[in-house]
């Protein structure tokens, strides 16, 4: 099975359209002020409007006030929410939208427990744990910590790039892969050649 591909942290409509043309299945919009990839609501709406059919838009939040999530949802047609902080299951389902729960993987993490707690999530997104930084770090983690029998679709992220993603897909067999830093030329600046190379590498796995 070919892994789906999400390119995260897009900040303009032209790059989002190009990513879709190159074969991205989904794009991620970061609504988290401290991130270099943070987007405002108007920009996010413009990015979504530029997407062709069958390319999903994912909105990413980190312990956001529910009122802020609702404000975004009122103006931005997001297909999926991605919660990257310590959001409880009740919080995640309060918006009545499909969601992904991100888990930052440490050696003692129990992903089966997460899958049971967030059983109504559309999937678990696994990322590297870096103290004090909720995501988008460019750091990988030890894929051997992933259980083979996770009952939810697995979205693999954390330090993926055009050089390592083929091996990652072959080793982990995730439902999808998610990348941000590995397809950038500088923090927050997406590089179309790297996006193309990343997508080619996933397809070649």
Ligand X SMILES: O=C(O)c1ccccc1NCC(=O)[C@H](O)[C@H](O)COP(=O)(O)O
Give contact residues for ligand X (rule: CB under 6 A): 8-9, 28, 30, 32, 35, 37, 60, 62, 84, 127, 134-138, 157-160, 178-182
Residue whose CB is less far from ligand X, 66 or 149: 66
CB of 155 to ligand X, least distance (A): 9
Residue whose CB is less far from ligand X, 51 or 168: 168
92 is catalytic: no
127 is catalytic: yes
Q: Considering 8, 48, 92, 161, which one is annotated as catalytic? A: 8
Residue whose CB is less far from ligand X, 60 or 115: 60
CB of 4 to ligand X, least distance (A): 14
Residue whose CB is less far from ligand X, 15 or 181: 181
Residue whose CB is less far from ligand X, 51 or 128: 128
Cα atoms in the Cβ-side hemisphere of radius 13 Å centred on 96: 1
Count Cβ atoms below 10 Å from residue 86 Cβ, excluding itself: 9
CB of 135 to ligand X, least distance (A): 2
CB of 118 to ligand X, least distance (A): 16
Place of tokens 């991620």: 28
CB of 187 to ligand X, least distance (A): 8
Q: Considering 25, 48, 127, 178, which one is annotated as catalytic? A: 127
d(CA 122, CA 152): 7
Active-site amino acid positions: 8, 127
């Amino acid at each position: 099975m070919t892994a789906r591909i999400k390119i995260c942290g897009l900040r303009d409509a032209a790059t989002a359209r190009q990513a879709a043309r190159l074969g991205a299945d989904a794009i991620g919009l970061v609504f988290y002020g401290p991130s270099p990839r943070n987007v405002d609501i108007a920009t996010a709406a413009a990015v979504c409007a530029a997407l062709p059919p069958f390319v999903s838009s994912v909105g990413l939040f980190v312990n956001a006030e529910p009122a802020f999530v609702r404000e975004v949802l009122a103006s931005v047609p997001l297909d999926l929410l991605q919660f990257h902080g310590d959001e409880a299951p009740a919080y995640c389902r309060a918006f009545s939208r499909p969601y992904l729960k991100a888990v930052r993987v440490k050696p003692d993490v129990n992903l089966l427990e997460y899958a049971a707690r967030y059983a109504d999530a559309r999937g678990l997104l696994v990322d590297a744990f870096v103290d004090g930084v909720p995501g988008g770090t460019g750091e990988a983690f030890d894929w051997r910590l992933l259980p083979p029998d996770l009952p939810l679709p697995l979205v693999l992220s954390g330090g993926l790039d055009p050089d390592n993603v083929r091996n990652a897909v072959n080793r982990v067999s995730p439902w999808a892969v998610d990348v941000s830093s590995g397809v950038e030329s500088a923090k927050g600046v997406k590089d179309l050649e790297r996006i193309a190379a990343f997508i080619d590498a996933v397809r070649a796995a």
